[in-house]
Amino acid sequence: MPTPLERLLTALSHKEADRIPILPVLLQHGAKELNVDLEKYFTNGEMLAEGQTRLIEKYEYDAVIGVPHVVEDLLAFGQKLVYFPNGAPVLGGMAISRFHEIDKLVVKDPGDVPELRETLKAIELLAKRYKGTVPILGAGIAPFSLPSMFIGTEKWLQLLFDDEEMRKQYLIRFLEVSMEFCVKWMNRQLDAGADTVVLADGMASATILLRKQFQKWAMPLIKATIARINGPVVYEGVGSLGDFADLLPELGAAAAIFDRYDNLAEIKPVLAGKVTIVGNINNIALIDWTPEQIEEEVKKVCEAAKKGGGFILANQGPEIPYDVPDENIRAFVEAGKKWGKQ
Amino acid sequence: MPTISEINARFLHYIQSLDQQGADKLISNCLKAGLPPEQIITKIIMPAIDAIAEKQKNREVVVAQIYVMAKIAENEINKVLVEMPIKPRTKGTVIIGTPMGDYHGLGKKLVATFLRLADYQVMDLGLSVNHFDFVNMAIAFNAKIICVSALLLHTALGITEIRKELDSRGYNHIKIVVGGALFNFNPKLSNKYGADAMAPNALDAVRVVRELAGDF
Ligand code: B12
């Protein structure tokens, strides 16, 4: 039987293994396994690694993830996090409120942020355990989306679409700051032992942008960013990417994560042999679907995308919510094993 | 002078091509030509908004377009309003905000804009709003509807808190309308969190508010 890493590499080289790789994005359930609260879990590298270990041993899927959530990236921009008992933390506020403040924004080195150091520690520990047998994933927010988190989504859109004067003056600055941080942070994770990193780019998805806007603003930036990252990248739309599918091979990403509005059967021929498709089970519906419904959904996407390799079964979006019960995670993985046979 | 339906088509075209200047000129010309402001709003601007929102429903336009279009429409309406002798009768007050901890503001902004364009008085409480503030403001401003835009699951529990607070203070006639990615991906959640209704986009938000509250 191939190892999870072999399975993943086979999928990425657009060939068939014994079955497709299965990747439920479980960032929070490890805390349940360890019986600790999420804040403690998220900020402790040993716990993160231990949580990932217990989860993969319990369900037997195909990758571990060293990152607790991507909101932590903003700690490097001086932002504070507010933790919750049952979900990812949120920002305590924005880092800047006016465009010109970008010039004053001090961006810390990831190594100088305690929480980010713990993430690196988690990746190192996972690498010690799993390097060469189970793929280890890192993640971060892509440069086009980062500004929405340090100045707010509305202001960011205002800068992109509304305010030409300001755009001329500041857009490049925003993107530069974001790209420098992103490249550095992703490379640190790779150095720590990650095999691949996921770039979350919600603001660039087809949920938000027109195709021509994606081509004009987001694409050059993504390409340049990926070119500077020293390992394979999984590009995550967070939202929909279907309308941009034919553009994705240009990005240089090994794989892309789609959302549930994206029609994988249509996308498959466009990306076959070029970019591996990841997705796209409705993560929010996993909360109250029955195991039978989950099997039905998994079967559908497997049938749409598994043929010839180049497909990884995963949920849409950046995580499986905390409230998704264990039996539904089990149903997801088992259905993947059954319907993902190749 | 072109006919209303010609002007209509042209205005829609300007909005769709995100041409603020074109829209500006057209509406100014209408005002100069003596078209009644009331008519400019109801016969030219509103139908364009409806047309766009209809396209959003079918996923033919993306957020970036709607954002700019709504902005153009809002600018034009404001310009026309200045020309009107008395402020038009508004349909009543709606409170809107995101729950405590949720800083996704885009959906809220769009819904607030569309409600305003539909003549509702909208009190936008902003981002990360405490459930007490939602309820206090609704009572103080005699609102019949509280709109909550929620993109994160765990902070959406704030909706349940609003419901509890309304009930315990005897204001259960105030309705809660919700929206955001969560509810689009799993409409059942709206019930679970104690909302009275959900809508998948800004146009339907107006429809649902109208259905629940009438033109109060
Ligand atoms: C862009 C985005 C990001 C960006 C920027 C986020 C930001 N703060 O600005 C980035 C990549 C940084 C990001 C990060 C994260 N994200 Co995010 N993100 C998105 C995305 C793709 C789009 C959100 C958006 O702005 N949409 C545009 C607006 C206009 O659409 P809308 O809000 O849906 O509004 C429309 C309708 O819903 C409706 N509507 C909206 N409000 C209302 C209100 C009423 C009353 C009514 C009637 C209607 C209505 O009308 C609007 C107009 O049509 C969504 C997925 C999606 N498809 O929506 C995920 C999503 C919101 N993110 C999610 C998550 C999990 C996260 C993270 C926690 C990831 C992580 N694990 O680290 C972080 C944390 C973010 C935070 N704490 O703030 C989840 C939330 C679900 C959950 N588990 O709780 C989503 C749903 C993705 C998913 N499928 O899982 N994200």
Mean pLDDT estimate for chain B: 87
Sheet arrangement for strand B197-198: B121-124, B93-97, B145-149, B175-179, B197-198
Structure token pair of residue B213: 């509250």
Instruction: Give the CATH fold of the A4-339 domain.
Output: TIM Barrel (3.20.20)
Residue B175, min C-alpha distance to chain A (Å): 24
Same-domain check for residues B116 and B164: yes
Closest residue on chain B to A87 (Cα): B154
Give residue B69's pLDDT band: very low, low, confident or very high (50, 70, 90).
Answer: confident
- Walk along chain A (342 residues) and give the pLDDT tens digit of each residue: 999 999 999 999 999 999 999 999 999 999 999 999 999 999 999 999 999 999 999 999 999 999 999 999 999 999 999 999 999 999 988 899 999 999 988 899 999 999 999 999 999 999 999 999 999 999 999 999 999 999 988 889 889 887 788 889 999 999 999 999 999 999 999 999 999 999 999 999 998 888 888 998 899 999 999 999 999 999 999 999 999 999 999 999 999 999 999 999 999 999 999 999 999 999 999 999 999 999 999 999 999 999 999 999 999 989 999 999 999 999 999 999 999 999
Q: What confidence score (pLDDT) does residue B89 get?
A: 55
- Does residue B189's CB lie within 6 angstroms of at least one atom of ligand 1? no
Same-domain check for residues B103 and B129: yes
Q: What confidence score (pLDDT) does residue A111 get?
A: 95
Give mean pLDDT, residues B69-78.
81
Please give the number of the atom of ligand 1 that sits closest to the Cα of A208.
27
Same-domain check for residues B102 and B158: yes
Same-domain check for residues B123 and B165: yes
Q: What confidence score (pLDDT) does residue B41 get?
A: 81
B121-153 tens-digit pLDDT: 999 998 889 999 999 999 999 999 999 999 899
**Count of Cβ atoms closer than 10 Å to residue A240 Cβ:** 20
Chain A environment of B109 (Cβ under 8 Å): 154
Residue at B115 is within a domain:
yes
pTM, entire model: 0.90
Q: What confidence score (pLDDT) does residue B216 get?
A: 56
Task: Check CB contact under 8 Å for A261 and B59.
Answer: yes
Share of chain A above pLDDT 70, in %: 100
Same-domain check for residues B128 and B34: no
Give distance in angstroms: CA of A202 to centre of ligand 1: 8
B155-205 tens-digit pLDDT: 899 999 999 999 999 999 999 999 998 899 999 999 999 999 999 888 889
Cα separation, A111 vs A76, in Å, equals 9
Same-domain check for residues B197 and B106: yes
Q: Are A66 and A136 in contact (CB under 8 A)?
A: yes
Chain B environment of A287 (Cβ under 8 Å): 153, 186, 189
Q: What confidence score (pLDDT) does residue B80 get?
A: 82
Residue at B88 is within a domain:
no
Residue at B155 is within a domain:
yes
Name the residue type at position A285. Answer: A
Instruction: For ligand 1, pick from B54, B94, B104 the residue to mutate: most ligand atoms within 8 Å of CB.
Output: B104
Q: Which residues in B have their CB inside 8 Å of a CB on A? A: 18, 59, 62-65, 67-68, 71, 101-106, 109, 128, 152-155, 181-182, 185-186, 188-189
Q: What confidence score (pLDDT) does residue B67 get?
A: 81
Give distance in angstroms: CA of A317 to centre of ligand 1: 10
- Does residue A23's CB lie within 6 angstroms of at least one atom of ligand 1? no
Cα separation, A279 vs A298, in Å, equals 10
Residue at B161 is within a domain:
yes
Contacts of A38 (CB under 8 A, 6+ apart): A28, A31, A83, A84, A85, A86, A87, A322
Cα separation, B199 vs B216, in Å, equals 20
Residue at B87 is within a domain:
no
Same-domain check for residues B189 and B137: yes
Domain that holds residue B150: 93-213
Give residue B40's pLDDT band: very low, low, confident or very high (50, 70, 90).
Answer: confident
Residue at B44 is within a domain:
yes
B19-38 tens-digit pLDDT: 888 989 999 999 898 888 87
Residue at B14 is within a domain:
yes
Task: Look at ligand 1, atom 46, and give the residue with the nearest C-alpha.
Answer: B179
Q: What confidence score (pLDDT) does residue B215 get?
A: 59
A177-212 tens-digit pLDDT: 999 999 999 999 999 999 999 999 999 999 888 888
Give residue B107's pLDDT band: very low, low, confident or very high (50, 70, 90).
Answer: confident
- Does residue A213's CB lie within 6 angstroms of at least one atom of ligand 1? no
- Does residue B202's CB lie within 6 angstroms of at least one atom of ligand 1? yes
Same-domain check for residues B54 and B128: no
Top residue of A82, A154, A203, A280 to mutate, by most chain B CBs within 10 Å, is: A154
Nearest to B106 among A84, A153, A282 (CB): A153
The CA-based angle B178-B180-B182, given to 5 degrees, is: 100
Query: How many domains in chain B?
Result: 2
Task: Look at ligand 1, atom 11, and give the residue with the nearest C-alpha.
Answer: A202
- Does residue B72's CB lie within 6 angstroms of at least one atom of ligand 1? no
**Taking the domains of chain A in order of start, what are their residue ranges?**
4-339
Strands B93-97 and A64-65: unpaired
Task: Check CB contact under 8 Å for B186 and A88.
Answer: no
Same-domain check for residues B113 and B145: yes
Q: What confidence score (pLDDT) does residue B42 get?
A: 79
Among B81, B111, B136, identify where a domain stops. Answer: B81
Same-domain check for residues B109 and B204: yes
Same-domain check for residues B99 and B41: no
A232-272 tens-digit pLDDT: 999 999 999 999 999 999 999 999 999 999 999 999 999 99
Nearest to A84 among B101, B109, B185 (CB): B101
Residue B189: CATH number of its domain: 3.40.50.280
Residue B19: CATH number of its domain: 1.10.1240.10
Name the residue type at position A90. Answer: V
Q: What confidence score (pLDDT) does residue B1 get?
A: 66
Q: What confidence score (pLDDT) does residue B17 get?
A: 81
Residue at B148 is within a domain:
yes
Same-domain check for residues B73 and B103: no
Cβ burial of B168 (10 Å; 0-12, 13-18, 19+) is exposed
Q: What confidence score (pLDDT) does residue A154 get?
A: 82
Q: What confidence score (pLDDT) does residue B110 get?
A: 84
Residue B190, min C-alpha distance to chain A (Å): 12
